[in-house]
Structure 1
Amino acid sequence: MMRDFEALDRFLAERARMPFAWGSAANDCISFYAAAARAMADHDPIEGLKWSSEIGAARVIRRLGGFEAAVSSRMTPVAPAFAMRGDAAAVEHPEHGLSLMLVEGETLVAPGERGLERHPRAAMIIAWTLPHG
């Protein structure tokens, strides 16, 4: 699957100041990554999944076997050391256990209260890549 990094850069610029908001069509960590995947690779890793709240997101994740199993059912796990630009990364989250972020390179990015937040790549504990094909 080819990745259009110029489209990814445009997507990140558009979302730079968009705050976190729960919902599969909003800007939580999972919907943010899915929108990035659609922008750069025309692939929707959450196709067919819907939620509009934190409780709804938790239900979907629980129904799919937990956070790691849910993401692994839609993407291919890779060792964090091999995660490339455009891949997904899980980091520890104090309230939710894990949170999904986009690998930019040396940083990870996801929506926060005031727009995009970045963390060092070293925060990554699990990684996934988009399926090939």
Structure 2
Amino acid sequence: MYTSMNRSAANAYRQVGVQSVVDGASPHTLIQLLFDALEASLNAAKGAMQRGEIEEKGRQIGKSVRILEEGLKASLNMEQGGEISQNLVSLYDYCITQITLANLRNDVALLETAQNLLTPVAQGWREMGQTV
């Protein structure tokens, strides 16, 4: 089907496509991309957990935690954001804890708890982008 060369070319194309989107994106769009990636990663982790795919579950949970920690949390401006930024830090930390416990306990409900808390924030961000 795919040769290793074709696979390499496909991966390179995918990377260029992603990099092109990122290079031309506004800061607002970059955060939206992080929320989209987080949602996809949490859904993939949940599916892997339900199927008993331990390695994939771990990979997706690690990705979710990195997006929260290194992407969303790291992008907050604590000076300008004040109380809202501090509340988001607390929310992201709580969700990281829930996601980590979900991994340790193999508990889909804990993943869903994090998703249920993050979805309104992502939706608000999405809606804010439509009005700006």
More strand by share: 1
Instruction: Answer yes or no: same fold by TM over 0.5.
Output: no
More helix by share: 2
TM-score (norm 1): 0.28
Q: Which has the larger radius of gyration?
A: 2
Return the structure number with greater relative CO, CA threshold 8 A, min gap 6: 1
